[in-house]
Amino acid sequence: METSIKEFKHCDVIEVKGRVDSATAPQLAKVLDKAVADGHFKLALDLTKLEYMSSAGFRALLATQRTCKRYNRGEVVLAAVPDRIREALELAGFTELFKTFDNAIDAVGSF
């Protein structure tokens, strides 16, 4: 798994690439925690190049969504979610907890 962060005026775009499972989810959690610790609560995750995500990754997303939405200071939105991952997120009932956008530009525009 690899991540890269771009800071925009109203939000950060975090690109998540590769595979997120129990081995790599802690690494993703660390990146998200760091953004939040730096006071960035409006996060758009660009998942264009995400190949795989298990429930370990879902848990990291949920924890960050909780922190970001606290005091209405922001939220996590998802962009370009690949089909297979969207289907798994739907099964887990996660699509109701995250706004999703077709691409990162639309996600940035939502803030």
Partner 1 sequence: MKRVKYPADFQHLDSIRDFVGEVAERAGFSSKEVYSIQLATDEACSNVIEHAYEGISGGKIEVECEARDGQIVIVIHDHGKVFDISTVRKPNLSRDLDEREVGGLGVYLIHKLMDEVSFHSSKKDGNTLTMKKRKSGDS
Residues lying near partner 1 in the complex (CB under 8 A): 19, 21-23, 52, 54-56, 58-59, 62-63, 65-66, 69, 83-84, 87-88, 91-93, 96-97
**CB of 5 or CB of 56, closer to partner 1:** 56
- Cα 89 from Cα 55, distance rounded (Å): 9
**CB of 5 or CB of 19, closer to partner 1:** 19
Q: Residue 49 Cβ, how far from partner 1 at the closest point, in Å?
A: 16
**CB of 5 or CB of 62, closer to partner 1:** 62
Length of the chain as a residue count: 111
